[in-house]
Structures are given as C-alpha cells and as structure tokens.
Amino acid sequence: MHHRRPVRYARLKVVLLFAIFAAPIVTAWGMVTWNVGIPQGHTAHGKVTIDVPPLEDWPLMASITASEQWTLVLDCGANCVQQQDELWRLHRALGREATRLKRLRVGGDDATLPGETVTVWQSVPSWSIAHSVWLFDPMGRPALAFTQEAATAEILDDIRHLFKVNPI
C-alpha cells in the first residue's frame, strides 16, 4: 500500500497539468462555438460603401485637391445652420487631432464658421443628397457617408477611430 500513494499523486499531477493546459483551448472553442464572450469589433456608424466619385472629380466651383488632411464635406442644401454648427463643434472636439481634418461646406447662405471652406455646385450631381455628410481620406477618396439622421457623436467616434488606425 505504501507504493500506491506516490503513483496516485503522480497521476493526479499529470491530470491537473493536462487540465491546466487544456482549459484555455476548451474555453476558446466554447466561446467560438456558442458565440459567448467574444468582444465586438468596432463598426462604422456611417455607410462604408459609397457611390460618389473622388473629391477632385466633384462638380464644384472651387477646385479641391488632395492634401495631407481628411476632409469632412457637408452638402448643405437650403438651410443647415444647426448641422454646420454641430460639425464645427465636432471639429473642435478632436482636440490636438483637429489639424488632421478640414471641413468643406457645399451650398448654404450662412456665415462661414472658423476652419470651414465654402463652395457651391457647378451642377448638382444625381448622387447629391441635401444635408449628407461625407468623410474623405487624405487622397480624396470617399471613406464614409452619413445621413442627416446620423448623430454628431457617431460621426466623431468614426473619425477618431479612423485617425487611430491611420496614424499618419
């Protein structure tokens, strides 16, 4: 009987070691199989698939060229004072990252806010929707589109995420 006791403890140690190393694998398999406890990735609030041409091809009175900044474009329509003000506040909320963004307003008769460039359509394109907001990357390619119903906080969240994943 004296010899069986060390064998039992040796077997117990092996089983415990196996359980310790197998537990994370079994847990991960269970998480994937039943979709439990998996963190959700960041998803854009804006529309990612956008049917608009690059910014330099837009029929605007002022020529817009690519720069090292992202461009937030507001298609103002007739009256967009509140939306214009919200985007100005959004720009300020970026803090030290604000220099990475420029704002362009197309249309509207309202006063120009600080940091905003204003132009008008040469001819209104078929894809233009009043009060829409588009975000263009520094190369002038469309990155995100937002409808008038999009909350400014959601637009800000998307911009911050894009700045984080594109540090340059």
Instruction: Determine the pLDDT at residue 2.
Output: 56
Higher pLDDT, 127 or 66: 127
pLDDT-derived band at 49, boundaries 50, 70, 90: low
Interval 50-91: pLDDT, tens = 788 888 888 888 877 767 899 999 998 777 888 999 999 999
Interval 83-98: pLDDT, tens = 999 999 999 999 999 9
**Cα–Cα distance list, 136 to 1, 11, 89 (Å):** 79, 63, 19
Of 19-23, 33-37, 137-141, the one with minimum mean pLDDT is 33-37
Contact between 75 and 130 under an 8 Å Cβ cutoff? The reply is: yes
Which pair of structure tokens corresponds to residue 31? 């998480």
- Which amino acid does the sequence have at 122? Q
Which pair of structure tokens corresponds to residue 124? 């209104």
Q: What is the domain partition of the chain in residue ranges?
A: 1-39, 55-165
The model carries a pTM of: 0.71
Strand partners, 104: 73, 117
CATH of 55-165, picked from 3.40.50.970, 3.40.30.10, 1.10.150.20, 3.20.20.70, is 3.40.30.10
6 exposed, middle or buried (CB, 10 Å; 0-12, 13-18, 19+)? exposed
Instruction: Determine the pLDDT at residue 70.
Output: 93
